Structures are given as C-alpha cells and as structure tokens.
Amino acid sequence: MSGAGRVRLRAYAKVNYALEVGGLRFDGYHDIRTVMQSVSLFDEVEIERGPGEGLDLVVEPEGAEVGEPERNTVRRAWSLLQSVCGRELPARVRLRKGIPAGSGLGGASADAAAVLVGLDEVFGLGLGAIGAREIGARIGADVPFCVSGGTALAEGIGEVLRPLPAPPGHRLAIVRPGRGASTAAIYEGYDRLPGPGERCVGAVLAALERGSLEELGRTVGNALAPVTKSLVPEVEEYEQALRGGEGREGNQGNEGNGALGASMSGSGTAVYGVFGSWAAAEGTVSGLGAPFGGVYEPVPCGVESLPAPDAR
C-alpha cells in the first residue's frame, strides 16, 4: 500500500469533564471512568519519510518539554509501530508545541496519537483508527482517546471508549499554574485518601444526554483534584477564581456569575471553566494573569489532517 510521503497534522488537547478513579490493577494502573472532550488547543506535527534510517525529531520552540530524548511519546510511538509492523520506518518529525507539559491536557498523548496516524498515512500501513488505538494503549492511557477524540466515555485504563453526544456549544477558559505535579505522586496520594473519591461521571453523562450546558457546568468534577490541590494550591485558587468570574474591571465573567462550572483536567495542574460566551471567558482569563491561559472550544476530533506543507 502506497503512502502520502508527507503529512501535517493537528494534535488536539483534551479536558476531563468528569474523572472517577477505581482501585489499583495488577498491571500497576488504576481503573478509571472519565468523560473526555477534545478542545481547540493543539500541537502541530509534520511527518515525512526520512532519507536514511531512524527518527529525526525536531521540537519547536527550542527547550519545549517533551520528556527524555529516548523515552518521549513521539519516539515511543514510532519505535512501537516499527515493532508491530516488522519494518523500518525512517522518518523526520517536526513537533511544534502549543499544549503545556505537565498540565493534564494530554499533550504527550496527543503527540503520540498524531505520530501513529501520520506514520500510517505516510507509509500506507493500513492501520486505521482501530489499529492506531490498539497500539496507542501500549503507550499511554489517553492515547486511544486522542486518536479519535471528540466526546467520549473512557473506562478500563482509558482504552475502552464509547462515543457520547457532543456538548452544547460553549467556551473553555483554561489556565495553568507555573508548575506541574507528578502524575505518579498524585495517584499515590489518591490511594492514601480515607474514602472513595468524587463520583461525577453519571451526572455528566446525563447532562450530555439532555444537551444542557448549565447542567454540564454544575456537574463537572475530578476525583484527583483534592490531591493535586494539596501539592499545588494554585489549582484551588484558579478554580475558585474561574467560578467567581474575577476578570478585568467591568467584565465579571459569565453574566456576572463566573463560569457555569470549573474543574481540573486529568491529574492537573490545568484548570478549566465552562462559559457560555467567548467574551466572558476571555475577560476572566485575562484578569487571572496565569503563566498559561487561553480560551478554547470543543472540537469533534483528536487528530486533524491539514493541507500538506510546501516541499522544502
């Protein structure tokens, strides 16, 4: 099967409208139930056949966090795909980072998903979405969702996906403190909590089925948030500020009442607020002065193909 030779992709971030955590599994992971949504914050990935062997990875901007050179998710996706296909896949990958690292927004998973989708197209491997999701589950729990994206319920460790109705149109004000937190440490802290964490998935599912934005805002939640907030108190501060609509003078957020709801994404440390309008969300984000902040909206896919770049 022939391939495209060269592709350009957007790898979209995600937020968790709801996240519940179960017990520790035999494989060291936790069972989860989570409602995830792709959002318009993205990384851009360009992939082309390489002239020789191996993977040539260029990351922009210089110094962007993508993990250890030999263990980042781009390289792991490429290496695993070679093993599964039983052939060399010499490639050049240019990764332009827009999703902040250590935020719970799925940037590393989105990059792995885009590499799997892109290499499939470049080399004509015939994986399709199902094959890419199966391989992606071996890289990270969020990768299968990031391959397909949209709105979905994820269970197991995140590999069991069920598409859900898209939410009513809205804006997400996303802010992140200047520091992240270790996902492993957060789950270890969760295991030490005295009782079960927040149960919010059922209420979010009902809100989506009814198509109620107000209900969705009221029911967003995250069982890991108490642990992350104990390690990074700014997470609590931003969440409260989003709910209170503390923006620039004269702009009080969502009709003076702040976000319809606010929660942490993933294991953190990014926090989002659900707003009915762009102006309300933008006013609130601008007033917070967070190291990272912006206004985004839901998108229906996890990886999007863009017009091919001009040949260099």
Bridge partners, residue 274, by sequence? 172, 261
pLDDT for position 247? 38
Rounded to whole angstroms, the Cα distance separating 145 from 138 reads: 13
What architecture is domain 171-296? 2-Layer Sandwich (3.30)
CB 116 within 8 A of CB 147: yes
From residue 279, give the alpha-carbon distance in Å to each of 142, 267, 274, 284, 285. 31, 28, 12, 9, 10
Model confidence, pTM:
0.93
* Helix 73-85 with 128-136: angle, nearest 10 deg: 120
Bridge partners, residue 222, by sequence? 19
Q: What is the pLDDT of residues 54-96, one digit of tens each?
A: 999 999 998 888 877 677 999 999 999 999 999 999 999 999 9
**One of 14, 97, 120, 229 is an active-site residue; which one?**
14
- 142 catalytic? Reply is yes
Q: What is the pLDDT of residues 5-45, one digit of tens each?
A: 899 999 999 999 999 999 888 887 889 999 999 999 999 99
The H-or-E segment that residue 156 falls in is: strand 151-156
Q: What are the boundaries of each domain within the chain?
A: 6-163, 171-296
**One of 97, 120, 142, 229 is an active-site residue; which one?**
142
- 56 catalytic? Reply is no
CB 45 within 8 A of CB 64: no
CATH, range 6-163: 3.30.230.10
